Amino acid sequence: MRFVSIASLLFSLAPLAMAQSTAHWSYEGKTGPFAWSRLDPSYAACAKGHEQAPIAIRGTHLNKALAPVEFHYISGGVKIENNGHTIQVTVHPGSYILVDGTRYDLVQFHFHHPGEEAIKGTPADMDVHLVHRSADGKLAVIAVRFNQDHDIANALMATLWPHLPATVGKSEELTDLINPGGFLPASRSYWTYTGSLSTPPCTEGVRWFIYQDEVPISRAQFRAFASLYRFNARQLQDAHGRRIEASE
């Protein structure tokens, strides 16, 4: 029952988990980000919200009181799916993070090309968003940025990528032991701010943690994803005076 209840959350989260609505949305053209708020009344926050994501990471404030995020990730089977907006990997229950004493269970992770987080105006080649949910329904997202390297392949990506579904709607259950911690950089320094889902319905109140160090992936790994999604990133949003804090 635990797995069913966690899995059912996926349909309320948009690729930060896909939102369920009759309104089709995309990253370009007439159903692209500038039109999202007009596609469905439930998407109104995409235009009217003042805590939207992503935002440019600049002018950060060092906060020595910020505690490290505690990761409690376990290895297990996953479901990998091409959902029409990204490649999404749904995890079995058990992995979680602790933030200021609050537990957030890992629900799924997915990828963007280019990376949605821009550091001083420059996005990474790709990123992964690890989406977590607390018992009271609050969301926390860990963002890790990837950049290409000629020689260095990411080991976790090397396990997942042979199973990338090329067709929208296709999925595969993997019995390989997947541990999402394989995406985390060695340094756990991060930037944090309060934002939103970066896809419709653009729900606000999401805690974002963007890890400062980039993680290398091979050029072949980058190209494999880019061949499926040549562009699936939302444009940077107005910060509206939000404070971006940096951990040590």
Q: How many domains does the chain have?
A: 1
The string of pLDDT tens digits covering residues 3-40 is 333 333 433 344 444 444 569 999 999 999 999 999 99
Q: What is the pLDDT of residues 43-75, one digit of tens each?
A: 999 999 999 999 999 989 999 999 999 999 999
Cβ-Cβ contacts under 8 Å for 50 (sequence gap 6 or more): 204, 238, 240
Does 85 qualify as catalytic in the annotation?
Answer: yes
How far apart CA 101 and CA 141 sit, in angstroms, is 16
CATH number at residue 86: 3.10.200.10
Query: Rounded to two decimals, what is the model's pTM?
Result: 0.91
Query: Residue 157: pLDDT above 70?
Result: yes
Q: What is the pLDDT of residues 182-198, one digit of tens each?
A: 999 999 999 999 999 99
Catalytic residue among 61, 72, 85, 113: 85
148 beta partners? 217
Which positions ≥6 away from 175 have C-beta within 8 Å? 77
For CA atoms 157, 135, 93, 7, the dihedral sign is negative
Share of the chain above pLDDT 90, in %: 88
Q: Which residue range is the domain that position 42 belongs to?
A: 2-246
Side-chain-side CA neighbours of residue 77 (13 Å): 6
